[in-house]
Amino acid sequence: MNKKKIVFIMNPISGTMNKAAIPSLIERYLNHDCFDYEIVQTAYAGHAVELATKAKDEGIDIVVAIGGDGTVNEVARAVVHSNTALGIIPCGSGNGLARHLMLPMNVAKAIQIINEGEIHLLDYGIINDHPFFCTCGMGFDAFISHKFAEAGKRGPITYVENVLKGGLQYKPETYEIRDEHGTTRLKAFLISCANASQYGNNAYIAPQASMSDGLLDVIIMEPFDLLDAPQISLDMFNKTLDKNSKIKTFRCKELKIHRKNEGVIHFDGDPVEAGKDIVVSLKEKGISVIVNPDADKSLREPNAFQSIAASLFNELNDMRRVFNKRSQKLPLLGKVIQRKLTR
């Protein structure tokens, strides 16, 4: 049997994990009857793209990214539309793509998935010529996607809630959005386009997103106030954000966005300056990826309790907004009555 060739590309500084033990774990757990391998390390930003491109050009069967979503993005963009498959050993802070694919966070178990060798053709996206595999976005999204990935073990829900509250200083922007269904003009706090379901750390920005449906999930977050932040953060971790009244979602293959001002966009959490016109598109089945053959996809869905709780709390939140609006009108009504009585 001909052995397949693997190149492991390791980012020694991504995430919080000490990677010194990883080479010995690869030697111990990789199936040597099936694979020959080499481990190379990145030395600077963008180096993983160069190393993965070299491996692809040499006909390497599998290139494995050892690192976080930034490393995964660099390796993945180098092997799109090729016969070289992407593997992932997640070692970053957020690990959004690995978590969406339900890959183990344990290194030894992630190597066992590589041994299984199940490869699927999956979709990926492009925003202004930048490939992305999880999410891209603009507005406040460019800020929070990076912050959510940093949540780590610091109490994710509370952390995210504080991030959202801190973001209230951001002013909503007006966007003109055009897809295959028509043109819409709206004011939004953020716009996110998702190929996969989460930012990382199980913060689900697009809980219904699929990497094999040929569609982008577009998430529009309307302006919210301080009291909305706890519910939005809870919905993210409960996979019920699409049920929140401040969230509007739809699906499309291509999205053209015009905004008033230039500013930052992000692809897989990596920020970059962009102009007023932005184009986001999906490339169907453009990348071969090693997947978990035992993944239980039903776990991506909220359970019955999460769904009921989300509906209840969102209804209470809507009632609170109605009450607040009415209570704001009462002093005005009192003044009108008082003026009438004093005439």
Mean pLDDT of the chain: 86
CATH of the domain at 182: 2.60.200.40
Residues 31 and 170 both lie in one domain: no
Residue with the two structure tokens 């994710």: 156
> What's the CA gap between 185 and 175, in Å, rounded?
6
Do the Cβ atoms of 306 and 238 come closer than 8 Å?
yes
What are the tens digits of pLDDT across the range 307-338?
Answer: 666 666 666 666 655 666 555 554 554 454 45
- Predicted confidence at residue 161, as pLDDT, reads 63
Which spans in 58-125 are helix H? Answer: 69-79, 96-100, 107-116
Backbone angles phi and psi of 165, in degrees to 5: -65, -40
Q: Kindly state whether residue 324 falls inside one of the protein's structural domains.
A: no
Residues 262 and 201 both lie in one domain: yes
Provide the terminal-to-terminal Cα distance of the chain, rounded to the nearest Å.
100
The string of DSSP codes covering 233-283 is HHHHHTT-GGGSTTEEEEEESEEEEEESS-EEEEETTEEEEE-SEEEEEEE
What are the tens digits of pLDDT across the range 166-177?
Answer: 666 778 899 999
> What's the CA gap between 217 and 279, in Å, rounded?
14
Residues 75 and 177 both lie in one domain: no
What are the tens digits of pLDDT across the range 187-198?
Answer: 998 899 999 999
Q: How many domains does the chain have?
A: 2
- Predicted confidence at residue 333, as pLDDT, reads 45
Residues 111 and 21 both lie in one domain: yes
Residues 111 and 136 both lie in one domain: no
Residues 137 and 277 both lie in one domain: yes
Domain that includes residue 181, residue range: 130-284
Instruction: Give the SS3 label for residue 285.
Output: strand
Domain-terminating residue out of 117, 144, 168? 117
Residues 83 and 147 both lie in one domain: no
- Provide the sign of the torsion angle of the four alpha carbons 236, 239, 241, 244, taken in this order: negative
Task: Name the pLDDT band for 135 (thresholds 50, 70, 90).
Answer: very high
Q: Kindly state whether residue 21 falls inside one of the protein's structural domains.
A: yes
Q: Kindly state whether residue 39 falls inside one of the protein's structural domains.
A: yes
Residues 108-126: what's their mean pLDDT?
A: 98
Residues 141 and 277 both lie in one domain: yes
> What's the CA gap between 142 and 334, in Å, rounded?
44
Instruction: Give the SS3 label for residue 179.
Output: strand
> What's the CA gap between 331 and 53, in Å, rounded?
67
